Amino acid sequence: MSKEGSLEAPTRHPIPWTEPDFLDPGKIDAEVRRVFDICHGCRRCFNLCDSFPRLFDLIDDSPSGELDTVHSNAFADVVDACTFCDMCYMTKCPYVPPHEFNLDFPHLMLRYRAAERAGTIQGGGVGFQRKQLSKTDRNGKWAGKVAGLANWATAEGNFGMRNMLEDVAGIHRDAALPKFNSETFLDSAKTALPLNAKAPSHGRKAVIYATCFANFNEPAMGAAARSVLAHNGVETAVAYPSCCGMPSWEQGDLEQVAANARKVAGEMADWIDQGYAVIALVPSCALMLKSEWPLLLPGDEAVRRLSENTYDITEYMVSLAKEDGLADGLTPLSGGVTLHLACHARAQNMGAKGAEMLRLIPDTEVTVVERCSGHGGAWGIMKENFDVALKVGKPAARQALKPDSQWVVSECPLAADHLRQGMERLADNVPQTVPHPIILLAQAYGL
């Protein structure tokens, strides 16, 4: 007997991306229509991303007001708006497996995009510019060589260059873009930090998976994590074989994601053998290592072991606090903190670990915002999506404007910048935005 309403824990099936039927346009269309019809009858996800309003408008504006009179060519617009936040699957949908309806909206959108990329479905697809944006390792290395020039050219106030970038690359002229650094996190971490031998966690070992963002764009996140861990007696190493593949995942390039997974899992296996826990600094990357890679490569032993030994940085710090106790030295921050709980942190199904970690700081009020920022990776910076991304993130930006909060922080650095832009459109004076809560923990330690 089936149970309705997500009474059982949701489970996900392996992604059969190597099977011939996976890219079959007829089978994809049949499955899309089956799922869309269920969504049409439910509509609980109307206030999440823009995919669902687009779908419901398509159906409501059709001749019959039902899915049967919606042409399949119109589905690409719905697919394009999915940002793979996973919130429909994790928090809203009552029909996810093990329910008999077996509905997994994000992975169906992934299948559709893989078919668009393969050319078996003619739809929106991914243009040349978007494909280039997904090459984060190449872009980070190139831009890092001319970091000053790259940051000048992409600055929000550089109207001439940003107008040109919008025309050439399709990136909205007003969208905040990540900065680049001439020294990567991996390079800066070559010097070992002295360990606090008196800390309760002394003797633990962890290897930090740098992630492309911390490595090339925000090394301060990595430096803060290393300092906090060293102060708590944890020996750290830093590794970065390659990007986790999330940008390629968003574009349906599953072959590239699988290649990245095999490379990273293969290198991390040596660290796991030596007793190191693996820590990911960005929740999207932690989600890939923990959840998506094992579904993409279910028979790969190295991927399985990496999944079982990977922690989000906030998850790891909370674990230390509960199991050993944190090292002394935390002092209150100068004001309250509003934490945006990133979608990919929620999708890890580990609880609000970012908030739990910040609440370890004495006498510091922490307020949690659980609405999507609307950014969606590279999706939210594109010319055709930026205004929609701000609209989706407006409720979160409004909640973040808490009068007694001095800091607004997100576990997702891209979401943090996007929230800042959203807040600036709602108020003249906005709190200081921080790219990750580990930076505030390091500040509370005086590191």
Residue 77 CB contacts under 8 Å (≥ 6 apart), including other chains: 54, 58, 124
In angstroms, the Cα distances linking 15 to 19, 28, 121, 296, 297 are 9, 14, 19, 5, 8
What pLDDT was estimated at residue 8? 63
Q: Rounded to whole angstroms, how far apart are CA atoms 185 and 144? A: 12
338, β-bridge pairs: 367, 408
Q: Rounded to whole angstroms, how far apart are CA atoms 295 and 388? A: 31
Q: Which residue has the tokens 């944006």?
A: 133
Query: By C-alpha distance, which of 315, 212, 5, 251 is closest to 111?
Result: 251
State residue 62 phi and psi, 5-degree precision: -75, 160
Q: Rounded to whole angstroms, how far apart are CA atoms 123 and 23? A: 13
What pLDDT was estimated at residue 64? 93
Query: By C-alpha distance, which of 405, 420, 436, 426 is closest to 341?
Result: 436
Cβ–Cβ < 8 Å for 93, 6: yes
What's the predicted TM-score (pTM) here?
Answer: 0.91
Q: Rounded to whole angstroms, how far apart are CA atoms 388 and 356? A: 31
Q: Rounded to whole angstroms, how far apart are CA atoms 344 and 365? A: 24
Q: Residue 245: how many CB atoms within 10 A of its CB?
A: 26
What pLDDT was estimated at residue 132? 78
What pLDDT was estimated at residue 402? 81
What pLDDT was estimated at residue 125? 61
Chunk the chain into consecutive blocks of 10 residues (it has 447) and report each block's average pLDDT, rounded to whole numbers: 52 93 95 95 89 93 92 92 89 90 95 91 70 82 91 92 92 92 91 92 95 92 96 96 92 94 96 96 94 96 96 95 94 91 89 93 92 86 92 91 87 92 91 92 94
SS3 readout for the chain: CCCCCCCCCCCCCCCCCCCHHHHCHHHHHHHHHHHHHHHHHHCCCCCCCCHHHHHHHHHHCCCCCCHHHCCHHHHHHHHHCCCCCCHHHHHHCCCCCCCCCCCCHHHHHHHHHHHHHHCCCCCCCCCHHHHHHCCHHHHHHHHHHCHHHHHHHHCCCCHHHHHHHHHHHCECCCCCCCCCCCCCHHHHCCCCCCCCCCCCCCCCEEEEECHHHHHHHCHHHHHHHHHHHHHCCCEEEEECCCCCCHHHHHCCCHHHHHHHHHHHHHHHHHHHHCCCEEEECCHHHHHHHHHHHHHHCCCCHHHHHHHHCEEEHHHHHHHHHHHCCCCCCCCCCCCEEEEECCHHHHCCCCCCHHHHHHCCCCCCCEEEECCCCCCCHHHHHECCCHHHHHHHHHHHHHHHCCCCEEEEEECCHHHHHHHHHHHHCCCCCCCEEECCHHHHHHHHCCC
Q: Rounded to whole angstroms, how far apart are CA atoms 137 and 214? A: 12
Q: Rounded to whole angstroms, how far apart are CA atoms 356 and 348? A: 15
